[in-house]
Amino acid sequence: MLAFTFFAVLGNPLSGAAARKLIWNFNDTLRNTLGGQYNVFGRSPSWARTYLDPRVHLPNTRHALRVTAHRAAEGFCGIWFDFYPASSAPPRTLDASRFRYLSFWIKGTHSAWDFDIKLVDERGEQNEDSLSTRSLDTFTSRGITTKWQKVSVPFSDFPEVDPGSLVRFVLLFNTPGDYKFYLDDITLTTHRGAAHALTASHQQESEALSRSAFQVRSLPNAMWVWKTDELFTDPREPDRLFQFCKQMGVQTLYLSLDLQLTTTGRPGRLRKGNLYRRLLERAHRHGLRVEALAGSPEWAVTRYHDRALAVIRIVAKFNRQVSKQARFDGVHFDVEPYVLIGFEDPTLRRRLLKDYLAMVAACEKEAQHEGLGLSCDVPWWFFPTSAAARAEMTVNFAGKNETVGEHLLDLLPSVTIMDYRNEADGAAGIIAFGEPALAAAVERGKKIVVGLETSAEREKAVDFVVALPQEMFRQSVEQAGLYGERSFDGYSLYALNDGGHVFVGLGPPFRGAPQPTKSLQRALEDLRQALGAEGGKFEVHPLLKEAQQAVARDPEWTGFSQYRLTPPGHHGSIFGFQAIHRTAPMITFHGLGRKVFEEESQSAAEWLARSPAFKALAFHYYDSLRALMATP
C-alpha cells in the first residue's frame, strides 16, 4: 500500500495520465540514469558540501543527497547537476521538450532556507553567468519545511532556456547564511502533481535505516606511521597506538624506517634495530601486520635506484636476524616522482615515469627473491579516464603501452591509492576518483587500498626568481642537472606552471638534504645562473600578472607578493615574487572534525566496497588522525 500511494503522488510512468523520467535517486550509483554527475563549487570563505545519507531518504529509496552550505558575505557556493557526462565526445544534451517540469523532493532540518535555481542549455553554457535564476520560494507555498515535499519547477519560467538541449541545472546559495536540507528523486514530468508533504507514516519510514549500516571498522584498514621517536622512547605509547588501531579497525601499519643509506655502494643499515624488533613483536601480538615504510621522490630516477634496492636488502637482512614474530611483513614504498621538478615537462615526465616503473619492477623482483611482499603509494590520477589525461600518463614499458597505474598493477598484487579528497561523493570525490583504479584492478585480479588524508603540511614561503618559457624548460633543467632533483643548494625546489611559463624558486631548507651553507639570496642567484637566467633572460618581472593568476588558480598556493632582491655582489635588483605553498584544503580532513571524517569515510567505504577489488581504507597518518578523532 505504501508503494502504491507513493507512485500515485509522483505519477505512475506506466499510466497514461502523466509521463515521468527518473534522473536521480542516489541509490546504486553516483551517476544519474544518463551517466551525468554532480559536484559542489565555491570560493572561500563560502562553501558547500554534499553527503549521500543512508538514514534520511524517501520510503522507496536508500539514500538522499544531504546538502550543507555556508554562504558568507564574500565568495560564492552552489551545486551543479550535469544531465550527461561532461566528458562525452561530442558533448550531449538532454531533450526534455516533451516534459514540462523538473521535479524533486526536498526536506530541511527546520523551516528555513531559500536558494536559487538555474537551468542551463547548450547555448546558455557559453555565458552561464548571464542566465537568469528563480527562487525556490517561487515554486513552494511554504518554502523548505521539516517534511518531505515535492517541488515542480516549470520550464516555462525560464523562457531563455531551450528544454530540448539541457546541459545541467544549478542550485545557487546567494543569500548569506547556513543551509542544510535533503534532496531525493529528481525527475522530469509532464504534470506538476500535488506539491504536498508525505504523510506521517511515510516520514517515519523514510528516516529509518532500511538496512544494517556499513561499518568501516570491519575492514582490514591500514595506517601510515611516520613518527617513531615516541614509540621508542615512551613505554606507554605503543599501547596507545595498538588501542587506537583497534578503535579504527586498523590491521596493517606502514611503519617508517630510520635508515642510514650510503652513496658509496655499501648497503646501509637500519638504525635502532633492537627497538624495531621489540615494537614488531608487540604489534604482532596485537594481531597487526607491519610493513616497512620508506621512500623518497628521487628514487624514481635511474641513478638512485640502488637506494630503493638497498631498502629491500636491509629489511630482508633484518628479518633474517630476528625471530618470525619480530619480522616485517612486507615493504611499502612512498616514492612520488611528480614532486621532482622535471615532472613539469611532458618529455621529462614520461622519462621519469618510465624510470620509476623500472625501479618498482627491480624492487619487486628483489623483494620476491628475499621472500618479501612489496606495495606502493600512488596518486589516484595515475589511473586517468579522459583521453587527454591517459595520453599524459601512458608509458611504453615492458612491451606495453599503458597508464602508469595499470603498469603498477601488472607488477604488484596491490597498491594504495592516495585518494586525497575530503568528500566521498560528487564528481570530484573519493568514490569517483577511486573508481578507475578499482576497475583496472578488477581486470587484473588485483586489490586496491584507498588512502585518505588527515594531515596538513605547514605553510611554506617560496621565492620565485626565474620564469622559463615552456619550450625552454626541459633544456634549461637538463643543462642544470636538476631533472631528477627536488632541492638546490640545500633549499627545497619548487615549480609553478601557468601554461606558458614555468616559474622556478626555492623554499625552506629541504629536510633530508645537507644543511644550506649559503644564504637564500645567494642560492636564488645561483639558481638563476644554473638555469641560464642571465643578461635579462627568463625574468619574472614582465610576467608578474600571469604569476599572480597562476597562484590564484592553484589551491596549493596562496598569498602572492612581489619583491626586489639584491644578491650579494650583484649589480642591480632582481624582481621576483613570493607565494605560500600549502596543503590544498579540498584534499584533507584536517580541521573538519571527527563527525565529518567518520561520515565521509563510512560513505566512501560503503560505495567502494561494491567493487571486488576494494580491500580497505588507509589513513594518513597516525598522529594527525588521532588529533582529528579527538575533535567534535
Per-residue burial over 380-419, b = 16 or more CB atoms within 10 Å of its CB, e = otherwise: bbbbbeeeeeeeebbbebeeeebbbbbbbbbbbebbbbbb
- Strand arrangement of the beta sheet that strand 557-565 belongs to: 487-488, 491-497, 501-509, 460-469, 574-581, 557-565
Quote the pTM value: 0.91
> What is the rounded average pLDDT of the residues 472-491?
93
> Which phi and psi (to 5°) does residue 23 adopt?
-105, -50
Cβ atoms of residues 384 and 392 within 8 Å: yes
Model pLDDT, residue 113: 74
Model pLDDT, residue 1: 30
pLDDT tens for residues 60-97?
Answer: 889 999 999 999 999 999 999 999 998 888 999 999 99
Q: Within its chain, how far is the Cα of 214 from the centroid?
A: 22
Q: Using 50, 70 and 90 to split pLDDT, how confident is the model at 158?
A: very high
Model pLDDT, residue 262: 73
Please check the confidence at residue 547 and state whether its pLDDT lies above 70: yes
Inter-CA distances, 217 with 55, 220, 246, 250, 512, Å: 19, 8, 8, 8, 36
Cβ atoms of residues 179 and 75 within 8 Å: no
- Unique residue bearing C-alpha cell 633530508: 512
Q: What distance in Å separates the CA atoms of residue 398 and residue 364, rounded to the nearest whole number?
A: 14
Per-residue burial over 441-461, b = 16 or more CB atoms within 10 Å of its CB, e = otherwise: beeeebbbbbbbbbbbeeeee
Please check the confidence at residue 208 and state whether its pLDDT lies above 60: no
Please check the confidence at residue 293 and state whether its pLDDT lies above 60: yes
Single-letter amino acid, residue 228: T
> Which phi and psi (to 5°) does residue 276 adopt?
-65, -40
- 451 SS3 class: strand
Model pLDDT, residue 18: 58
The percentage of residues in the chain with a pLDDT greater than 70, rounded to a whole number, is: 91
Please check the confidence at residue 515 and state whether its pLDDT lies above 80: no
Model pLDDT, residue 16: 41
Q: Where are the beta strands (DSSP E) in 475-629?
A: 487-488, 491-497, 501-509, 557-565, 574-581, 614-620
The percentage of residues in the chain with a pLDDT greater than 90, rounded to a whole number, is: 79
* The listed CATH number (1.10.15.40, 3.30.70.980, 3.40.50.1860, 2.60.120.430) that belongs to domain 2-206: 2.60.120.430
Whole-number average pLDDT of the chain: 90
Task: Kindly state the helix (H) or strand (E) to which residue 140 belongs, with its residue range.
Answer: none
pLDDT tens for residues 22-48?
Answer: 999 998 788 999 999 999 999 999 999
pLDDT tens for residues 370-414?
Answer: 999 999 999 999 999 998 999 999 999 999 999 999 999 999 999
Model pLDDT, residue 212: 39
Cβ atoms of residues 133 and 60 within 8 Å: no
pLDDT tens for residues 429-461?
Answer: 999 999 999 999 999 999 999 999 999 999 999
No. of H helices and E strands in the chain?
A: 15, 29
Cβ atoms of residues 436 and 383 within 8 Å: yes
Task: Kindly state the helix (H) or strand (E) to which residue 64 belongs, with its residue range.
Answer: strand 64-71
Q: Using 50, 70 and 90 to split pLDDT, how confident is the model at 564?
A: confident
* CATH no., domain 217-456+588-629: 3.20.20.80
> What is the rounded average pLDDT of the residues 264-290?
91
Please check the confidence at residue 210 and state whether its pLDDT lies above 90: no
What are the structural domain ranges in the chain? 2-206, 217-456+588-629, 460-581
Model pLDDT, residue 568: 63
Higher-pLDDT residue of 190, 568: 190
Cβ atoms of residues 108 and 142 within 8 Å: no
**Eight-state DSSP code of residue 630:** T
Q: What distance in Å separates the CA atoms of residue 498 and residue 504, rounded to the nearest whole number?
A: 11
Q: Within its chain, how far is the Cα of 458 from the centroid?
A: 19
